[in-house]
Amino acid sequence: MGALTARRLIREGNEVTILDPKPTRCEELESTLDAHVVTGSASRVTSMQKAGIARAEMVIAVTDLDEVNLLACLIAQVEAPAAIKVARLRTHEVDEWKRVAEESEIKIDLVIHPEEELAKKIMRVVRLPGVSDIYEFADGQIRLFGMNVERGSRLAGRTLVELQKDGPPENSLIALIFRGPQVIVPHGAVELQVGDHLYVLGTSENLLDVVEFMGLKRTTELERVFILGGKQLGITCAELLEEQGVSVKLFERNADRAARIAEILDKTVVLHADGTDQLILEEESIEGVDAYLALTNDDEDNIIASLLARRLGAHKVVALINRLNYLPMAQRLGVHTTVSPRLAAVDRILQFVRKGRVLSVTTFREEEAEALELVATEKSKYVGRKLRDLRFPRGSIVGAIVRPGGEAVVPRGEVEIHPGDRVLFFALESVVPELESAFLAESGRA
């Protein structure tokens, strides 16, 4: 996660120092990143000093160990008191640690808990069988969902212009198309193909209508959910589903851990069993289960288990994926939803780093595209002019505009951007810096 965060920050013109305890990993980072790489542990004062902690403007502690991340922030508190501090914590006691840090006057400006972010993401999509993701923008007023174009779909072989003639819900838009390794910011002449992964925009009011227009089922009631893996994310999802009255079965291979989980969860049936075993899944009546969540720490297990569960009759499958290069493959294989703790954490860090007029950053797949939510100022060169007269970087589009009064629109060419508008852009990764700098510039006119 540290390397991914560093790469994004370097791309945006920041000077980055990376501290890592493994010499071989440091050599790899030096050869692939334009960063100052230092061998050492972030939990050691001398290593932090060697890395130049005193000159740091921001310290981002995202190792796999909570203790190291907390110690790094403690060291930074003394060695670089003015630096902004960010820490990733994975413990289920994250709220308690926030309180302890605050009461002990260790100032941590942002605490990231990826499991909590991922659990919320899973809960948003678990009731929609054909939907891979749902993202929210402008405080939930704008929503974006992902889906695959399946064989036999009425979408296949049709252009966006032809779909428009079918009368889609107002304020809806196909914003991005992932086709194999290719990313397309679409225009009207683009023809949809079987295997395409689409991201479709709507509002909070019309989301289900847009889902139905795209040929997917509307929201269904959840009755039964299977969860594979008893790590923190699996437990959190089980707790949230319990609160909604859903019948949950959680499969955990480790006997001791299964016993501990059974003490934590109130209503979930915790099974000391292999949730990737076909016979066991059939014995537990997987056919017709509303959702199967594969949330172990092993990407391969999660992908294989999801495909098996789908073949055995699960209506919805979700796989936790840590390696970003596995995300496109999982989607092409038919895994409905993939969630990545690395992307969730990096998006949160970038949003925090940019702050100000950059309200949110969302990364898609292997960093190939982004959604950027920006605030327009009176001096912006894009304000007060019709969209059709503006020249945005090639590979970017305006997906939605939310007015200061709360009105949300998916704009056409006649619409103008006003001061204070929240503007949602979709852009290829390669043009994001150009788009950001152009939109946020406060001088001249295009």
CATH number of the domain bearing residue 392 = 3.30.70.1450
Give the pLDDT score at 355: 60
Say how many residues make up the chain.
Answer: 446
Say which residues have a Cβ less than 8 Å from residue 154's Cβ, sequence separation at least 6: 215
Residue 215: how many CA atoms within 13 Å on its side-chain side?
13
Q: How far apart are CA 399 and CA 160, in angstroms?
A: 15
**Within-domain flag for 357:** yes
Domain boundary among 112, 147, 181: 112
Question: Residue 426: which H helix or E strand, with range?
Answer: strand 422-428
Q: How far apart are CA 401 and CA 120, in angstroms?
A: 25
Q: Are residues 398 and 368 in the same domain?
A: yes
142 backbone dihedrals φ, ψ, rounded to 5°: -110, 135
Give the pLDDT score at 276: 93
Give the pLDDT score at 446: 41
How do beta strands 173-179 and 197-203 pair?
Answer: antiparallel
How many separate domains does the chain show?
4
Each residue's pLDDT tens digit in the chain (446 positions)?
A: 788 889 888 877 789 999 999 999 999 999 999 999 999 999 999 999 999 999 999 999 999 899 999 999 999 999 999 999 999 998 878 889 999 988 888 899 999 998 888 998 899 889 888 898 898 888 889 999 999 898 889 999 999 999 999 999 999 999 999 998 889 998 888 999 998 999 999 998 999 999 999 999 877 789 999 999 999 899 999 999 999 999 999 999 999 999 999 999 999 999 999 999 999 999 999 999 999 999 999 999 999 999 999 999 999 999 999 888 888 788 778 787 889 888 888 888 877 776 656 778 888 877 788 898 988 888 888 888 889 888 888 899 999 999 998 888 888 888 999 999 999 999 998 888 888 877 877 644 44
pTM of the predicted protein model: 0.81
3-state secondary structure of 236: helix
Range of the domain at 198: 130-213
Domain boundary among 52, 77, 112: 112
**93: CATH:** 3.40.50.720
Both tokens assigned to 428? 């290829």
Give me the helix-helix angle, 94-103 and 66-79, nearest 10°.
Answer: 20
Would you state the torsion angle of the CA atoms of residues 18, 23, 27, 30, taken in this order, to the nearest 10 degrees? 10
